[in-house]
Amino acid sequence: MDALIIAIDGPAGSGKGTLARRLAGAYGLRHLDTGLLYRAVARLMLDRSRPLDDEDAAHAVAATLNLEFMDESRLRGREIGDAASVVSAQPRVRHALLERQRSFGLEPPGAVLDGRDIGTVIFPDAPVKLFVTASAEERARRRHAELVERGEHVDYDAILDDIRKRDDRDMNRAQAPLKPADDAITLDTTDLDADAAFEAACKIVETCRQPER
């Protein structure tokens, strides 16, 4: 493919989003956090007081979604993350958003896309595929620290429980379950800070791109 695609998958809180943004900057590529698409669908469903499991309504939202006018701050937070996990399990919602993700990635010079099915469904032929992970306990610790820094009073055990439930939903859904592509390289960030994870990811990218040179 003419455009360079770096596909990054992994569970919530693994650090894949931060990593994807840094890689995009380093390689002069655009970045798409595909999770924001599903979060936007969930946000609009909640705003319209529609049940999250109403697939007809969710599909209609996804088919006409325009992120340009969405306030990204309204797409963050645990509530929206959990809601997005529900709508993202719906086949018609995923289908409606699939071509949008592919079109974004194929526009030269390419892109870094992060999500849960980039390397398995959206770009199975991507030359660079990473599966970024970390232990559930470490991901909960990071999330807890982030929320405390914002001044929120949160319970670590509740966050850990939410993460485990979300992992279970994402990994066991019938449509595009969260799993590493067969040829993806796994990067475990449990014991890595952001800089160390970025350095390791850059080495993986260079190794994967080597055959093209």
Binding residues for ATP: 10-18
Please state, in angstroms and rounded to a whole number, the distance separating the CA atoms of residues 165 and 160.
9
CA 143 vs CA 39, 51, 88, 136, 147: distances in Å: 18, 27, 21, 11, 6
Environment class of 97 (CB within 10 Å of its CB; exposed 0-12, middle 13-18, buried 19+): buried
Strand-pair category, 110-115 with 30-33: parallel
Closest CA to 194 of 132, 116, 118: 132
Q: What are phi and psi of 88, to 5 degrees?
A: -70, -15
Q: Would you list which residues are annotated within the binding site? A: 10-18
Q: What are phi and psi of 53, to 5 degrees?
A: -90, 10
| Long-range CB contact pairs, 144-149, < 8 A, 24+ | none
CB 89 within 8 A of CB 175: yes
